[in-house]
Amino acid sequence: MYVEPEVFYRYDPAAAPVPVIVDVSRSGRLYPADYRSPLSFNTVHDNVSMYVDEIWRDSPKYGATMLYALFPNTYIDANRHELDIDPGLIDGQWPVPLEFVSKSGLGLLKTKSRYGETFHERKFTVAEVQHRLDRYYRPYHRELASIADRMLTAHGFYYNLSCHCMSAVGAPTHADAGQERMDFCLGNLRGTSSTAEFIEFVAETIRKQGYTCSVNTPYTGGELNRRYGKADGRQESIMVEINKRTFMDVKSFGKTEGFEAIQGVARAVLEAVAQRAGERARRPV
């Protein structure tokens, strides 16, 4: 295990290593001292992918490497491009042109809660945002890129599971507002961050456990999949979203009886992906 204080934990393989990366970027709960929001803590914390690090904690037992971000995604979101910033949130002129594409308020710096409430009490200076990038965002990506590069060099490929959780019903700020969601949602940026074969392999593994699973709806993936995935079969990166209703009480944030079953699904996925990776790594080139 390696620790970058306040930034990430890296859990190394506890079994024979395989080229599998599990990244958990939105479950961090170490709120920095300068964190501020006019919203209640319950509203703020509702945006954290609660318990996802625990759901996937057995990753090293299957030979995978797990990277877990310790900082909250509402402080700075590792799953967004670093130029995906609302210009209206910056006090001053950003050094280069911004590329604000997350119009629903879900950019690098969250501007709205999932229900449309203003998230921050003031604008941020360029220096404040650069500090968040340099202290949290970039070190997380450097470590993830380093892990991926090592696996690619050693084995010629890797599988990356980018793990999150989602609300049971689409929020007003989301494209599927008011609609019930399946138990799991997988995404590969509509076929650009993994092969169809790999994402369907994972989807079928989940369905065999008795859970429903959608692909590329309501979510397709994010910056992590864009950076670390391709459809060439060598850099396979998919998003894995788990419906909160399957394992937690969204009002109290407590675990429900379904938590252990969801951990079991995660273990089934890890076992299947690790076996697939191990067999492929041993295959003659």
Q: What is the pLDDT of residues 177-207, one digit of tens each?
A: 889 999 999 999 999 999 999 999 999 999 9
Identify the pLDDT of residue 7.
Answer: 98
Strand ranges, E, within 83-234: 90-91, 124-125, 158-166, 184-187, 213-215
Residues 99-133: pLDDT tens digits? 998 877 789 999 988 778 899 999 999 999 999 99
Annotate 141-169 with DSSP letters as a single string. Answer: HHHHHHHHHHHHHHHS-EEEEEEEEE-SB
Rg (alpha carbons) of the chain, rounded to whole number? 18
Write down the pTM of the prediction: 0.96
Average pLDDT over every residue of 244-265: 95
Nearest by Cα to 271 from 187, 184, 208, 188: 208
- H/E segment holding residue 246: none
Domain ranges of the chain: 2-282
Average pLDDT over every residue of 138-149: 98
The angle formed by the CA atoms of residues 192, 198 and 204, to the nearest 5 degrees, is 125
Identify the pLDDT of residue 285.
Answer: 63
Helix then strand then coil, % of the chain, to nearest 5: 30, 20, 50
Average pLDDT over every residue of 33-46: 91
CATH for 2-282 (3.40.50.300, 3.40.630.10, 3.40.630.40, 3.40.190.10) = 3.40.630.40
Residues 208-254: pLDDT tens digits? 999 999 999 999 999 999 999 999 999 999 999 999 999 999 888 89
Mean pLDDT of the chain, nearest integer: 95
Q: How many CB atoms lie within 10 A of CB 64?
A: 28
**Residue type (1 letter), 257:** E
Q: How many CB atoms lie within 10 A of CB 160?
A: 30
Distance of CA 218 to the CA centre of its chain: 15
Average pLDDT over every residue of 254-263: 97
Average pLDDT over every residue of 142-151: 98
Q: Is 157 left (phi over 0), alpha (psi -120 to 50) or beta?
A: beta
Burial class (CB in 10 A: 0-12, 13-18, 19+), 34: exposed
Identify the pLDDT of residue 177.
Answer: 85
Residues 40-87: pLDDT tens digits? 988 898 888 999 999 999 999 999 999 999 999 999 999 999 999 999
Confidence check: pLDDT of 138 > 70:
yes
